[in-house]
């Protein structure tokens, strides 16, 4: 029985580290892509070609932000499910 408790504790610790890493990656992506969006925002003095390229980059970066936010929502949902459904987590 004593070998099972440390294994369970180690499993929870590994899961927590994995979740923290995913959260850090998603928030880092959001910050980085939003910073790039702000840098692309000015349009003064740009020709149509440069503006078209910037629009494409803005769309790509926006999509990346949406994916990172969706990943955070998925993490949130999995934490809620684990808290509700796993008796070891909720007690």
Higher-pLDDT residue of 50, 86? 50
pLDDT band, residue 83 (cuts 50/70/90): confident
Note down the domain range covering 53.
4-90
Residue 19 tokens read as: 């979740």
> Could you give the CA distance from residue 67 to residue 58 in angstroms, rounded to a whole number?
14
Look at residue 46 and tell me whether its pLDDT is greater than 60: yes
Residue with tokens 């790039």: 36
Higher-pLDDT residue of 16, 70? 70
Confidence at residue 4, expressed as pLDDT on a 0 to 100 scale: 60
Residue with tokens 């499993």: 11
pLDDT band, residue 9 (cuts 50/70/90): confident
Residue 78 CB contacts under 8 Å (≥ 6 apart), including other chains: none
Count up the domains in the chain and report the number.
1
């Amino acid at each position: 029985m004593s070998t099972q408790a440390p294994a369970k504790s180690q499993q929870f610790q590994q899961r927590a580290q994995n979740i923290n890493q995913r959260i850090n990656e998603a928030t880092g992506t959001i910050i980085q892509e939003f910073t790039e969006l702000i840098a692309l925002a000015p349009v003064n003095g740009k020709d149509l070609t440069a503006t078209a390229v910037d629009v494409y980059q803005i769309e790509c970066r926006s999509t990346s932000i949406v994916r990172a936010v969706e990943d955070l929502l998925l993490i949130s949902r999995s934490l809620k499910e684990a808290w509700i459904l796993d008796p070891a987590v909720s007690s």
